[in-house]
Structure 1
Amino acid sequence: MSVYQYYEFQAIDRPLTRDELDGVRALSSRARISATHFVNEYHYGNFRGDERKLMERLYDAHLYFANWGSRRLMLRLPTALLPSRSAEPYCAEDALSCWTRKGHLLLEFSYDDEDGGEWDFETSSTLASFTALRAELAAGDLRPLYLAWLSALTRWELEEDVDEDEYASAFEPPVPAGLGRLTGAQRALADFLHVDPHLLTAAARASDAAPPSEVDEESLADWIRTLPQREKDTLLLNAALGKAPQPGPTLLARHRAASHATKKPCTSTSRRSAAELLDAAYRVRSEHTRQQGRARAQARRAEQRGRDGHLDRLAANTGQAWQDADHLIGQKRPGPYDTAVTLLKDLREVHDRAGTPEEFQRRLDDLGERHRGKPSFMQRLTDAGLTAG
């Protein structure tokens, strides 16, 4: 199997310093590196750096995937925006882990294809597909974390040595609002982590509608005016010098907390067990299968009605149809030949419905006799099962 690995890092809150850039460049001579970005692809060999340490020290987002199915997304946020106690309930083995370093919370979303099948990396996403998740988490939207827990449950269901009592004794974490209507980045994450769509639908039934994302500018302005002048001066100075993360997300989070603009993340008074969620997903899947069956049957009926109408129109003037076939063949070109063969197959069905297959064969024999000098057309007749004398 060919080897392919993709590494991408992004610095969002502040660019790397010159010394930091020199340290990163020492890790790879082929990577595309800037003060805010690192991208490299490996068709052989491995990355020499430690992704976790780079995230702890320098970067705010990281994407990795390999064509054998392994994939990883890491995000770093200030703990002032997302404390570890908010993320820990969603952590699950092999799906989401979190830890803190120097005032930051680090989240690692991961998925490994245990079947070992190759992943079509050419259609894979870049880090830009996921960076919006960081801003969503900073704003208190915990849907990305719940999606990771669902990914773990999706994989857990496939394990063969799990006792059913384990499913009954494991309960979901707090259910965030808005699961029924994910953002674009959240949909990309659900695909990235292979979340069962039927399980997501079942889980969303206990989720309230997402609160409005628009910021009340007048309320925010009033709140900012109440901040101490020294604090505002410090925020602006640090932002201008790049010594601290951009203050916008922190200020918005503090404003929401102060004004109680957000709801508690759990929208359900009772937490469902893994067994209840899996049973609900089975019902959703079964109903989806039934709906698909009904839709296919309806499509087949519509197709048959269209076919019957077409044959009825041919039957109303079979003489003209035979003349049309003769004219098409006379053009001596591949396209008209194909159209003529299709028309002849339709005429065979028209005559079969009318109980006159002998007339069809007589007319086909006459047509074949007139055009027997056209071997390409005659071969098409044979291939279509239309045998002329």
Structure 2
Amino acid sequence: MSEYQYYEFLAIDRPLTSDEQEQLRALSTRARITATSFTNEYQWGDFRGDPRQMVEQYYDAHLYLTNWGTHQVILRVPKGQLTLRALEPYCFDECVEAWTTKTHLVLDLRSEDESGDWEEGAEDSLGAIAGVPAELASGDHRALYLAWLSAIGTWELQDDDGEDEYLAAVEPPVPAGLDRPTAPQRALADFLRVDADLLAVAAEASPPAPMPRKRPGKKELAPLIAALPEKDKDEILLRLALGDEPQPRAEFLRRLLGEPSAVTAPGRRSAAELLAAARTRATERQRRAERVRDEARATKLTALAADEEAIWREIENHVARKQTARYDTAVALLVQLRDACDHVGRGVEFRQRLAALREQYRHLPGLLRRLDDRALRG
């Protein structure tokens, strides 16, 4: 397969102007550009633009993926809705990075897996992930923890000297409700290849999700607004009139009602502990699945053995037709019946009857060849 790269950008808080779209057109003549999106694919060559700068200046969300294993998401949140200090505990190597511009906080999340299989449909992920910035702005930090889990799960150790430090890294604060991520958070976890067992282990230390804040009504807001100083009211009205800032209502409500308190538990486990616990859980889950499969197979074999005579009659009916397709069906039934008889302790009797069948139809080389191919000898 030739090299493949996919770029997608979304403008969520405000559409791009015609002039801005023209500026972006200079970066690619083949890109699909609208007031709210920018999409392009490359089978050869590279994109001339800088995705980080494009998010800083124009877009709220960006997705990049390649067929050599790179999955990247860049998201931005307006300043005042999320602080760099709150993000810093979740930053990890080059997999989770954050910085600020004059107007926004930008978050760069990356997963690398050169050995991974190509994932069909991953190009459709950004629309589902696009709800994450609003969740972060509301004080929900689960997406940050998921990005950190992705980092420790897929980060490639560069050398032995860094391994001990990496494995000893203590997890950041564990957000509430990690066992029940939202749809955007699940889409992000899937895109960043968060291991399901690792997430389940991590969620064991997650506090229960708090009840969502009730939407404030007129009776609650009116006295809070009346109590605002005139200077603050003038400032808020001016900003609303100018309309240059995204999501002014959300910021205004936080100003009136106070910042939502993010419910978290202190991070206490190391990356090594989490990964070891995830491996243990995966092994136990696989063993349980094997037991279930074994029990189901045993039940099926017992039922087949109980119906042995009817199956023998069906086998002999197929063989008597002397047709190639009928031989194949008869041999398939014999394989199942052999396993069933071995399971219930009647293997000797089965092989005696099979020997008699081979003797009876020794003049049918097509049948005998098929029996030999499946080791069906008396």
Residues of 2 paired with 1:131 and 1:287: CA distance?
A: 31
Equivalent position of 2:355 in the other structure? 361
Tell me, yes or no, if the aligned pair for 2:354 and 2:377 is still in contact at 8 Å: no
2:245 maps to: 244
Query: Structure 1 residue 330: deviation in Å?
Result: 4.5
Change (3 A) 1:4 1:328: same
Q: Residue 279 of structure 1: which of 273, 285, 291 is its match?
A: 273
| SS of match in other structure, 2:298 | helix
TM-score, normalised on structure 2? 0.83
- Partner residue, 1:257: 258
User: Counterpart of 1:340 in structure 2: which amino acid?
Assistant: A
- 1:65 matches 2:65: yes
Residue of 319, 323, 328 corresponding to 1:338: 328
Of 77-86 and 325-334, more deviation after overlay is shown by 325-334
Once the 2 structures are TM-superposed, how far is the Cα of residue 160 of structure 1 from its aligned partner?
Answer: 4.8
> CA offsets per residue over residues 178-221 of structure 1, 9 Å max, x none?
222222322332333333444433332322112234x5234477
Q: CA deviation at 1:331?
A: 4.8
Cα distance, 1:227 vs. partner?
3.1
C-alpha separation between the residues in 1 aligned to 2:169 and 2:18?
49
What SS is found at the alignment partner of 1:217? coil
Amino acid at match of 2:165: E
Distance 1:334 1:362, change over 3 A: closer
| The 10-residue stretch of structure 1 (181-190 or 283-292) with the greater mean CA deviation from structure 2 | 283-292
* CA–CA distance in structure 1, aligned partners of residues 167 and 314 of structure 2: 70
Distance (whole Å) between structure 1 residues aligned to residue 327 and residue 257 of structure 2? 71
How far does residue 106 in structure 1 lie from its aligned partner after superposition?
A: 1.0
1:310 and 1:252, CA in 2 relative to 1: closer, same or farther beyond 3 A? farther
Displacement of 1:5 after TM fit? 0.7
Residues 144, 348 of structure 1: CA spacing in aligned structure 2 closer, same or farther, 3 A cutoff? closer
1:307 corresponding residue in structure 2: 301
- Which consecutive unaligned segments of at least 5 residues does structure 1 have? none
- Corresponding residue number in structure 1 for 2:137: 138
* 2:40 match: secondary structure: strand
**8 Å contact from structure 1 (residues 88, 98) kept in 2:** yes
The runs of 5 or more residues in structure 2 that have no matched partner are 227-232
In the alignment, residue 131 of structure 2 is paired with which amino acid? Answer: A
- Asked whether the equivalents of residues 201 and 281 of structure 1 are also in contact (C-alpha less than 8 Å), the reply is no
Q: 1:289 aligns with which of 283, 286, 294?
A: 283
Quote the Cα distance in structure 2 between the aligned partners of 1:212 and 1:333.
Answer: 68
Q: Which residue of 1 aligns with 2:230?
A: none
CA contact (8 A) 2:338 2:347 kept: no
| Counterpart residue identity of residue 130, structure 1 | I
Aligned residue in 1 for 2:229? none
SS of structure 2 residue aligned to 1:56: helix
User: What TM-score results when the alignment is normalised by the length of structure 1?
Assistant: 0.81
The AA in structure 1 aligned to 2:95 is: A
Change (3 A) 1:162 1:366: same
The alpha-carbon deviation at position 246 of structure 1 amounts to 3.6
Please say if residues 358 and 368 of structure 2, whose CA atoms lie closer than 8 Å, have aligned partners that are also in contact.
Answer: no
2:118 paired residue among 117, 120, 125: 120
Q: Structure 2 counterpart of 1:216, which letter?
A: K
Identity across matched positions, percent: 40
- Please state how far the C-alpha of 1:54 moved relative to its aligned partner: 1.3
CA distance in 1, matches of 2:116, 2:170: 33
User: Aligned letter for 2:355?
Assistant: Q
Rounded to whole Å, the distance in 2 between the matches of 1:169 and 1:323 is 66
Q: What is the CA-CA distance between 1:278 and the residue it aligns to?
A: 2.2
User: How many residues get paired?
Assistant: 367
Distance across 1 between alignment mates of 2:99 and 2:14: 21
SS at match of 2:179: coil
Q: Quick one: distance in 2 between partners of 1:119 and 1:346?
A: 35
Deviation at 1:9, TM superposition (A): 0.6
